[in-house]
């Protein structure tokens, strides 16, 4: 899809973070085009999923919805902080990475998992695919 409002479809579904073997982090990605204005609604939905999957009141999954544009990567958060902007319903937009000088760059407040160079390389590849999708001619409509 061609849209500057969110993220286009891509085939690579997940990124596995390199670890020391003691723990494992899997970053599954769902790549759909969204309107940035829906970030609060989407975060509330993922919060509900986290609650449903909780065991004895503790989360077993951590879902971090966000969006990627050519110039930035933004995550949703339920926690206020100086660098987060309220987007409604108690949800904040966290500017997590910025694209400068040919790569995504971490900011002082970027969570370590997202500041990690392999994940930033992965997101740069996603960004490249997204840029190609933005410039692609529209797909022809199917006729019945």
Q: Quick one: what percent of the chain has pLDDT higher than 70? A: 80
Give the separation between CA 78 and CA 76, rounded to whole angstroms: 7
CA 67 to chain centre: 4
CA–chain centroid gap for 82, Å, is 20
Whole-number Cα distances in Å, 43 to 84, 113, 125? 14, 19, 24
- pLDDT category at 33 given cuts 50, 70, 90 is confident
Asked whether the predicted pLDDT for residue 10 surpasses 50, the reply is no
Q: What average pLDDT does range 65-92 have in this prediction?
A: 96
The mean pLDDT of 87-114, rounded to a whole number, is 97
CA distance 65 to 41: 10
pLDDT at residue 86 greater than cutoff 60: yes
Please give the helix or strand (H or E) that residue 62 lies within, else none.
Answer: none
Is pLDDT above 70 for 56? Answer: yes
Indicate yes or no: pTM above 0.85. no
Residues near 15 by Cβ (< 8 Å), separated by ≥ 6?
26, 27, 29, 118, 119, 122
Question: Domain ranges in the chain?
Answer: 14-135
Q: In this predicted structure, what is the pLDDT of residue 141?
A: 64
pLDDT of 82 above 90: yes
User: Which pairing describes strands 72-77 and 103-106: parallel, antiparallel, or unpaired?
Assistant: unpaired
pLDDT higher than threshold 70 for residue 3: no
């Amino acid at each position: 899809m061609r849209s500057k409002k969110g993220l286009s479809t891509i085939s690579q579904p997940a990124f596995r973070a390199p670890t020391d073997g003691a723990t494992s982090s899997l970053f599954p990605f769902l790549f759909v085009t969204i309107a940035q204005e829906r970030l609060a609604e989407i975060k509330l939905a993922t919060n509900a999923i986290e609650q449903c999957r909780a065991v004895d009141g503790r989360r077993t999954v951590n879902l971090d919805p966000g969006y990627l544009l050519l110039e930035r990567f933004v995550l949703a958060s339920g926690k206020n902080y100086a660098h987060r902007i309220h987007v409604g319903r108690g949800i904040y937009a966290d500017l997590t990475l910025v694209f400068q000088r040919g790569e995504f760059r971490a900011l002082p407040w970027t969570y370590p998992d997202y500041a990690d160079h392999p994940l930033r390389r992965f997101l740069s590849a996603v960004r490249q695919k997204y840029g190609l999708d933005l410039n692609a001619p529209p797909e022809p409509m199917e006729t019945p």
